[in-house]
Amino acid sequence: MRRRIRATATAGALLASLAIAPVPVLAEAAQPVTRVDRTGLGWAPCKDLEPQGDEALECATLTVPLVRTAGGDRVPGADETVELALSRVRATGTSQRTLLVNPGGPGSGARRWASITHQRMPEELREVYDVVAFDPRGVGASTPAISCDPDYFTPVRPDTVPADGAEEAALRADAQAYAEACAENTGTLLAHTRTEDTAHDMDAVRRALGEDRIDYLGYSYGTYLGTVYSSLYPDRVRALVLDSVVNPDNPWYESNHVQSRSLQRAAQNFFDWVARHHDTYRLGRTGDEVAEAYYDLRSEARRNPIEDTVGPTELETAVIVVTYTSSTWPGVARALSTRINDGDAAGIVTLHKAFGDHADSDQSYGGYLAVQCTDAHWPTDWSAWRSDALLAHEEAPFIGWHNAWYNAPCLNWAAGSGDWFQVGDAPHEHRAYTGPALIVHATEDGATPVEGAHALRDRLPGSVLVIEDGGHTHGVAFTGNECVDQIVTDYLLRASLPDRRTTGPDLICASRPEPRPSTRREDLKAVAEGAGAAIPELPGEPG
């Protein structure tokens, strides 16, 4: 739940039979009272953003209030504003609808996803849909921007697994200093970056587009954003696609510890795959042997950082990409193999450059914290953090301590925190969206455990859950699973969904084949460059 990760998505899948039932169209509703400073958008060719292909990519800005009431109105007397940066790819035919896309994060810029999504969609959707994305407040090209401390990421960073009390104290001091730097360098914006703030911004975008209702596609953290938006503005949703779901019942602190365990399982899937191809990678004939080889390399990087750049923290930050999609497995396995067996560090350094944290990660990390630290309450006593981190490390050594430190600035976050936006029908909960919604999730997704998809299905009474059985990809829609893509297309075009069963999942799609082993340099290059595709970002570590 925090990283910008790009990678190739595998293609090909079995098409499951679809039991399609019509979905009723929601009635029109009166205009909401959300106020913005300017309606209408001045679209022009983007000056700072390149399209994925030959499509025409347009950009615009929209001014919205910095501070709003709980209902979305401008607070009287509060004149500060935020400039949201938007992007759009127009329909190839006659535009009939608008698809608003969010790739998750939080803290991730989203504008490039208008182009990415347009490229991924089937032609029948491209013909009728404008695709729009915007950088959430504080990140990307939106202003004012979040700024904390770019030097925080200078390698070689301290090992996230403290060897003693002194190292633990130093890591705590670093986390506190980063939180203080965010407060000093960003100011009042940090108190107005909750998910509800972005949901109100979404509705301002809808109004500026001149749309009575929007279709929404949210990946990862974007599923929580879509859940909150649909609760606040239920009459403004035509279609709601939520892919790779954040568990609505787990506030961020709890969510991160659950995620550490699921990332461990996902990493073990990678280790097991490498073991099945021992003849290619020579890292072990069992998953445990491959894992041991990886952890030995991590220990070596602590003693002698690779190329004086990649220590244990840099290594785990780069290799974690394997828990997001199996398409990265051949490239990462090759990088590990050539370093462990041949002493060639080039692949590891390439992974770090592509996926590791650098000075330019400051805004996205600060943006991640700005949302997570204020969205829900966090333990105020370090002893609770420490106890949970030790248990997480014992059960999930791949990323347990790292995840704890990634979120540790929330212990000293100056902006404070609020109550988790819980949807449901209990007295203390926000009323959940009751209209039709499509939930999509892969069973082996490490970043957002599949249990969250079932929990959200239970919370949204009009939703249908489609599972990619055995799938390893975080972000399934429009990444090559023909079964899933057909269901999403039918829903968006024809308001049709599979039948909802008594209990979920409501339909199961077969996963795409596992990648084949390879030692080609091109495999690592494709992983590092992203091959024109991207994996959504997420909430928590890393997400």
Confidence (pLDDT) at 542: 35
Q: What is the pLDDT along the chain (543 residues), one digit of tens a residue?
A: 444 333 333 233 322 322 323 333 333 333 333 334 345 799 999 999 999 999 999 999 999 999 998 888 888 878 899 999 999 999 999 999 999 999 999 999 999 999 999 999 999 999 999 999 999 999 999 999 999 999 999 999 999 999 999 999 999 999 999 999 999 999 999 999 999 999 999 999 999 999 999 999 999 999 999 999 999 999 999 999 999 999 999 999 999 999 999 999 999 999 999 999 999 999 999 999 999 999 999 999 999 999 999 999 999 999 999 999 999 999 999 999 999 999 999 999 999 999 999 999 999 999 999 999 999 999 999 999 999 999 999 999 999 999 999 999 999 999 999 999 999 999 999 999 999 999 999 999 999 999 999 999 999 999 999 999 999 999 999 999 999 999 999 999 999 999 999 998 999 999 999 999 987 776 776 666 653 345 565 333 334
Contacts of 205 by beta carbon, 8 Å cutoff, 6+ apart = 62, 84, 86, 100, 132, 134
Give the Cα separation of 399 and 393 in Å (integer).
Answer: 7
Confidence (pLDDT) at 77: 77
Beta strands in 137-246 (DSSP E): 214-219, 237-243
Exactly one of 200, 257, 402, 474 is catalytic; name it: 474
> What are the CB-based long-range contacts (under 8 Å, 24+) for 318-322?
318/348, 318/351, 318/352, 318/354, 318/355, 318/356, 319/294, 319/351, 320/3, 320/263, 320/267, 320/355, 320/398, 320/399, 320/542, 321/5, 321/7, 321/351, 321/355, 321/527, 321/535, 322/266, 322/267, 322/270
Does a cis peptide bond (omega within 30 degrees of 0) precede residue 150?
no
Give the Cα separation of 45 and 132 in Å (integer).
Answer: 14
Dihedral of alpha carbons 158, 162, 164, 165, sign:
positive
Asked if 248 and 255 touch (Cβ cutoff 8 Å), the reply is no
Phi, psi of 511 (to 5 degrees): -80, 165
In the residue annotation, 278 being an active-site residue is answered as no
DSSP structure string for 224-283: HHHHHHHHH-GGGEEEEEEESPPPTTS-HHHHHHHHHHHHHHHHHHHHHHHHHTHHHH-S
Confidence (pLDDT) at 45: 96
Give the Cα separation of 198 and 204 in Å (integer).
Answer: 10
pTM value > 0.85: yes
Exactly one of 130, 201, 203, 445 is catalytic; name it: 445
In the residue annotation, 445 being an active-site residue is answered as yes
The secondary structure element, H or E, covering residue 175 is helix 165-186
Q: Give helix 165-186 / helix 362-375 axis angle, nearest 10°.
A: 90
Asked if 208 and 40 touch (Cβ cutoff 8 Å), the reply is yes
Confidence (pLDDT) at 2: 45
3-class DSSP string for 56-123: CEEEEEEEEECCECCCCCECCCCCCEEEEEEEEECCCCCCCEEEEEECCCCCCCCCHHHHHHHHHCCH
Q: Compute the radius of gyration of the chain from its Cα atoms.
A: 22
Q: Is 409 helix (H, G, I), strand (E, B) or coil?
A: helix
Confidence (pLDDT) at 358: 93
Exactly one of 87, 220, 327, 361 is catalytic; name it: 220
In the residue annotation, 249 being an active-site residue is answered as no
The secondary structure element, H or E, covering residue 523 is helix 521-529
Give the Cα separation of 320 and 148 in Å (integer).
Answer: 24
Residues in the chain: 543
Residue 244's Cα: distance from chain center in Å? Answer: 9
Confidence (pLDDT) at 25: 35
Confidence (pLDDT) at 16: 31
Q: Is 156 helix (H, G, I), strand (E, B) or coil?
A: coil
Give the Cα separation of 100 and 348 in Å (integer).
Answer: 36
Q: Which two tokens stand for residue 25?
A: 């169209």
463-469 and 507-510: which strand pairing?
parallel
